[in-house]
């Protein structure tokens, strides 16, 4: 049992509309998820740490323009890009996060540097950027982060607002997030989350991703969690920490606790989902909306991925 | 019972050194705490909301240069001032927060505007400032926020670092916070927290005050909490939400839950304390360090205040 390792990932949740999705695009999402799973699994298989595995898995998603994080980050109402990320380590509840960051190719690396190289947990804005630069974290150009489809999405959203038209967008695209949770061979847990936020968001708005206890949590005693969805609700319900609290204080299983929290959020109007893993490597992937880009991989190395409310496929 | 109202406040916790405190200074702290309690109590006595009461109480502390929030905010290593604040409302878990803000005379009003006038919970940096300005929240000048003693504290800290001398500072002064929790006649709870952060902190560092679930929490079903201390630990332990979770899931009393969390933080190296109130108006004021500037006031309108580990005094 102690040799067992496992990894789960997500690439955002929401009303993923099938009518916006052709077969080639759908396959590209599955392939992006599989690439992330393989990257994290390779770390775990070599005996690496859960923290290294979630970092690798999230970096693969940040590098893929299909997902709203890193390269594929959406644009704010001001035409800028502002990224948030967090990591947490289950052994000691070490945590690091950045918010309102533009520059590093992989914001998750900036979050990890905050955890590992400062006495702080959360750095924001220009200061987070300067810190990342001082640590030698690779930066990318404005062109690297410019995705035509994201720019078009912002223009469409600004036009919609001018016309006061109803919002028919796919909300997995407009406020997507990526994340990973893992359990390594040593029994340690870790979580990582990264996002570009919401298309057309007010600059300076920060959601749940970098809020420890809301969008990201890891504690070896209970679970590791990474959330995606309507971030304000996940903050107001301390969603990730509430799952850990239900396990610790009520003795609930991971799946019971995670499902309860996601269902309660749904009842309150907080659409979204999350990925969670416990100290035995059990995984739960609940969501209260049409779909969640998600996947998992165990010791056998076979990636399983899914988008809609249908069984994961190898 | 439903007519009962109550308010508790803090003005920071830590190693408050008696040898740095003359009688006149100590009395000035007590008077500052009493003024805050009276401001909040006046709201509650007139049938006002817990949210209005904690706002009034925190504004009084922000306006007092003795406390590290608003006017008395400490300076960063860069010689700037960056303030964080949050409010939360127990009826619906409405929440608002700002981080890395300079400009508004009362940062708590900016946090409240985020809750009441946006769909967001957390705004940071320049965008938070621009939002506050757009909402007509009063700003103050750089001179207003310049306190000679805070500037001298920064110079002393920078000199200490240059000399690599041991840190002998009073840590309630170097990373103080102010906060309030209340229960109004209608049975509603609210919490508010405001801080200038740590003297000589890295610009862009954000502690627990604006992190909902860490330094600030309110839910009518359980309690309202405002914390003060070594913020990174309060974030990594989701301190404020953990108290609510222990009450809800373990059936602990407010005092048992609050004391447990503060004791656990102390064992891990997280010095500090917090103020908490439950739906019956019961108050708990635990801290794991030498002292906490604190006070409470009930329906009788008599303020009680304290600094060290001695009984509160009228």
Instruction: Note the pTM of the prediction, 2 decimals.
Output: 0.96
Q: Where are the beta strands (DSSP E) in A49-151?
A: 83-89, 94-101, 122-124
Q: pLDDT-derived band of residue B193, with 50, 70 and 90 as boundaries? A: very high
CB-nearest partner of B120 from A128, A205, A250: A205
A3-30 mean pLDDT: 89
Any idea which residues of A carry the catalytic annotation?
Answer: 177
Q: pLDDT-derived band of residue B146, with 50, 70 and 90 as boundaries? A: very high
Phi, psi angle pair for B282, to nearest 5°? -70, 145
A54-79 mean pLDDT: 95
What one-character DSSP code corresponds to residue A68? S
Query: How far apart are the CA of B310 and the nearest CA of chain A, in angstroms?
Result: 32
H or E element, residue A7: strand A6-14
B73-88 mean pLDDT: 94
Q: How many CB pairs lie under 8 A apart between chains A and B? A: 133
Query: How far apart are the CA of A191 and the nearest CA of chain B, in angstroms?
Result: 13
**DSSP string spanning A161-182?**
HHHT------HHHHT--EEEEE
pLDDT of residue A232: 94
Nearest CA in chain B to A243: B245
Token look-up 């359980």 returns B222
Domain ranges of chain A: 6-308
Instruction: Say if residues B98 and B124 touch (Cβ distance below 8 Å).
Output: yes
Nearest CA in chain A to B268: A92
CATH 3.60.20.30 fits A6-308, yes or no: yes
| B220-271 per-position pLDDT tens digit | 999 999 999 999 999 999 999 999 999 999 999 999 999 999 999 999 999 9
Nearest CA in chain B to A119: B232
Report the share of chain B in percent with pLDDT over 70.
Answer: 98
Average pLDDT, chain B: 94
Q: Which chain B residues are Cβ-neighbours of A212 within 8 angstroms?
A: 211, 214, 235-236, 238
pLDDT of residue B173: 67
| B20-59 per-position pLDDT tens digit | 788 999 999 999 999 999 999 999 999 999 999 999 999 9
CB-nearest partner of A100 from B125, B242, B245: B125
pLDDT of residue A110: 98
- Six token digits for residue A91: 């052994």
CB-nearest partner of A238 from B123, B125, B238: B238
- Asked if A236's CB is within 8 angstroms of B204's CB, the reply is no
Question: Which region among A260-274, B68-82, B151-165 has the lowest average model confidence (pLDDT)?
Answer: B151-165
- Six token digits for residue A71: 């390269």
Q: CB-based contacts of B24: which residues, under 8 Å, 6+ apart?
A: none
Residue A2 clears pLDDT 70, i.e. is over it: no
């Amino acid at each position: 049992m102690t040799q067992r390792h496992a990894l789960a990932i997500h690439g955002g949740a929401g009303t993923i509309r099938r009518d916006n999705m052709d077969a080639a695009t759908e396959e590209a999402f599955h392939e992006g998820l599989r690439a992330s799973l393989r990257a994290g699994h390779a770390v775990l298989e070599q005996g690496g740490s859960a923290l290294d595995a979630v970092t690798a898995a999230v970096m693969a998603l940040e590098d893929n323009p299909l997902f709203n994080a890193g390269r594929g980050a959406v644009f704010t109402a001001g035409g800028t890009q502002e990224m948030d990320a967090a990591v947490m380590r289950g052994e000691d509840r070490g945590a690091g996060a950045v918010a309102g960051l533009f520059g590093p190719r992989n914001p998750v690396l900036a979050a990890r540097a905050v955890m590992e190289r400062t006495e702080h947990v959360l750095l924001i804005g220009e200061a987070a950027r300067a810190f990342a630069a001082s640590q030698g974290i690779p930066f990318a150009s404005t062109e690297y982060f410019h995705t035509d489809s994201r720019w078009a999405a912002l223009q469409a959203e600004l036009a919609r607002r001018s016309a006061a038209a109803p919002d028919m967008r796919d909300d997995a695209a407009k406020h997507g997030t990526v994340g990973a949770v893992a359990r390594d061979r040593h029994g340690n847990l870790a979580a990582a989350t990264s996002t570009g936020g919401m298309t057309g968001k007010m600059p300076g708005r920060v959601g749940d991703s970098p809020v420890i206890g809301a969008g990201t949590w890891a504690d070896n005693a209970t679970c590791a969690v990474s959330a995606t969805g309507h971030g304000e609700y996940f903050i107001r319900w301390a969603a990730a920490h509430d799952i850990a609290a239900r396990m610790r204080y009520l003795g609930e299983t991971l799946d019971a606790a995670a499902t309860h929290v996601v269902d309660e959020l749904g009842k309150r109007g907080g659409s979204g989902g999350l990925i969670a893993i416990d100290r035995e490597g059990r995984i739960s992937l609940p969501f209260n909306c049409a779909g969640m880009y998600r996947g998992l991989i165990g010791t056998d190395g076979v990636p399983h991925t899914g988008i809609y409310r249908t069984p994961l496929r190898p």
